[in-house]
A and B are shown apart, each in its own frame.
Chain A
Amino acid sequence: MSRLAIDLKGLTKFYGKSRGIEDVTLQVREGEVFGFLGPNGAGKTTTIRLILDFIRPSRGTAQVFGLDSVVDSVKIKKKIGYLAGDIALYGHLTGYQLIDYLSDLNGGYDRQEFERLASAFKAQLSRPIHNLSKGNRQKIGLIHMLVHQPELLVFDEPSSGLDPFMQQILYEEIRKIKESGRTVFMSSHNLEEVQRTCDRAGFVRDGRIVAVETLKEMSKLNLKRYDVRFGHDILPSEFRSVEGVESAQLIDEETLSVRINGSVNPLIQKLSNYTVENITEQKTSLEEIFFHYYEGDDK
């Protein structure tokens, strides 16, 4: 069995009286690409900042490759590369100067790897960073993180600010990282991004881990949502007992939004008793998947 890259035990952070995260227990194995999913404010960034020792836990521990995040912070950072989604860089430096500066603090970097990344991302490295767009700043951030070839890469919303073409290149880099046996811990609120890149995903909501699933298990989840328009008033309660229906809510007096998990047949049979003007299948949102796990957790 491979060793643990990240091991969080009862990790808790309070900001005064308000809660950041509470009792987060999570293991990420070495060589795994792990997605950390949750809506804004759920506690994803707080968890990452605790792992990186930017902030100190109120309770619990975070270990990286068996090292304590607070006590062994410097040793851990030799093994970690970190990129924030809303990365702040030194605006007065050029990309070359920034990477030279930060790499110096990391103990140097592989020149060939740097050239390869600069070419892959088509980054503008010779202009002062304050003159660059958010996307170009994000590219420099990605290069500075990847160039050290760390054992564990921690991304906080990595594709934020990148255009779709650059996102593909990023996903390709993550694939290469996985092939090389290194570990990726990636926070995101983009389900598609996680589905494309991750082996497992953890769902965080209101500061707590709601579920941890493999992407295989998640793909088995057959969540669908349909908006059904009737030619008359309708009561949602009439549909809540139908097999597979997880929720039924009114959008307006004549339109019902039904979320089902499993076969659509029981719903079709039920609808045959009504006058239906229109049925539209809606894309399942990340929030709905959260809701599915959240409700499960409540039960």
Chain B
Amino acid sequence: MRIFWESLRERQRSILAWMIGFIAFCGLLIAFFNEFPDLSFYDEIIAQAPEIFSALVGELTTLTTIEGFLSAELFSLMFPVMMAVLGISLATSLIAKEENAGTLELLLARPVSRAKIFNQKMLSLVFQLALMMLACWASIVLFTSIYNVEINAVNLAWALVALYLLTLDFSMLAFALSNIFNRGIGMAISGALFVVSYFVSNLSAFISSLDKIKDFSFFTYYRHYDLLTNGANYADLLVLLVPILVFYWLAQAAFERRDIGL
């Protein structure tokens, strides 16, 4: 597991900075929720706002409960964007950056299989993203407890698991594309797909033509408000999990077969 640990060591400062960022962001929002407990007037605004507005900014069921507040302020857009930026940039740098720098040859010249190098690099991506989710879960649980706001920690964990899988969908796609083509293509296509997927899923209720393709959008299976209020939806989680395995297989197959360092 030495390659895995060295990959983490190389990024230790960055990991710490991202974790602090997530913790601070969660803390700030929960403090905001606590300072303005009577958010019912927002609910009235939401009720009067055009549906397309709520579709674009998130699932604004209610802002008066912590679940509705977190769903609208964190899970609908901010968390997915932050995680996608981190996940895609990490996925496209783990191998491609080393390849561009020439250091990948140091590993390939050792008696270590390509599969082992690939899997340990991939594991470091999965682990770093999991650390972020853990930091978010711990900080939300901690800050809600400090401000005496009741939240179901298990349901929160399920919402974060869904976010984690959603992030891995785009990250593994970026990982696969950067191995099949190059880093730039990996970032561009997975980033574009993230944006398209988000809009397709959220606008499909209003644009009938999008309704036909919304099942192909990862965001359709990321029902954060339901998860925060009702807990796990295994079918959705499974749908989010399958593409990760497919992209993983594609990425590994590409890395096994291709020329390195061209």
Query: A interface vs B, CB < 8 Å?
Result: 15, 49, 52-56, 73-75, 77-78, 80, 82, 84, 86-90, 92, 101-102, 104-107
Contact = CB atoms under 8 A, between A and B. Distances in A.
Contacts of B105: 54, 82, 84, 88
Interface stretch (B55-63, B107-115, B141-149, B211-219): B107-115
Given A55-B260, A105-B2, A88 B106 contact: yes
Contacts of A75: 111
A106 B111 contact: yes
A95 to B, nearest CB: 13
A149 to B, nearest CB: 14
Given A105-B112, A106-B111, A49 B106 contact: no
A54 B106 contact: no
Interface string B93-129: 0000000011101111111111000000000000000
Contacts of B2: 101, 104-105
A290 to B, nearest CB: 26
Interface of B: 2-3, 6, 10, 101-103, 105-114, 257-262
A147 to B, nearest CB: 13
B6 A101 contact: yes
B108 A54 contact: yes
A52 B111 contact: no
B252 to A, nearest CB: 16
A105 B120 CA distance: 13
Given A88-B102, A88-B105, A101-B2, A78 B111 contact: yes
Contact of B111 (A55, A84, A101, A105): A105
Nearest to A54: B260
Contacts of B259: 54-56
A87 B108 CA distance: 13
A102 B108 contact: no
Contacts of A15: 262
A102 B106 contact: yes
A137 B7 CA distance: 21
A90 B103 contact: yes
A28 to B, nearest CB: 18
B123 to A, nearest CB: 16
B127 to A, nearest CB: 18
A82 B109 contact: yes
Nearest to B114: A73
A52 B108 contact: yes
A75 B110 CA distance: 10
A157 B181 CA distance: 30
Contacts of B110: 77, 102, 105-106
A80 B111 CA distance: 9
Nearest to B260: A54
B109 A80 contact: yes
Contacts of B258: 56
B102 A74 contact: no
Contacts of A54: 105, 108, 259-261
Given A75-B111, A82-B109, A102-B110, A56 B257 contact: yes
A162 B39 CA distance: 70
A78 B111 CA distance: 5
B111 A107 contact: yes
A34 B25 CA distance: 61
A90 B104 CA distance: 10
A12 B104 CA distance: 23
B10 A105 contact: no
Nearest to A78: B111
15 contacts: A49-B261, A54-B105, A54-B108, A56-B259, A73-B114, A77-B111, A78-B111, A82-B105, A84-B105, A86-B102, A87-B102, A88-B102, A104-B2, A105-B107, A105-B111
Sort A-B residue pairs by CB-CB distance and give the 5 closest, nearest first. A88-B102, A55-B259, A105-B110, A77-B111, A78-B111
Given A49-B261, A78-B111, A105-B107, 12 more contacts: A52-B109, A54-B105, A54-B261, A55-B262, A56-B257, A56-B258, A88-B102, A88-B105, A89-B106, A102-B106, A105-B112, A106-B111
Contacts of A82: 105, 109
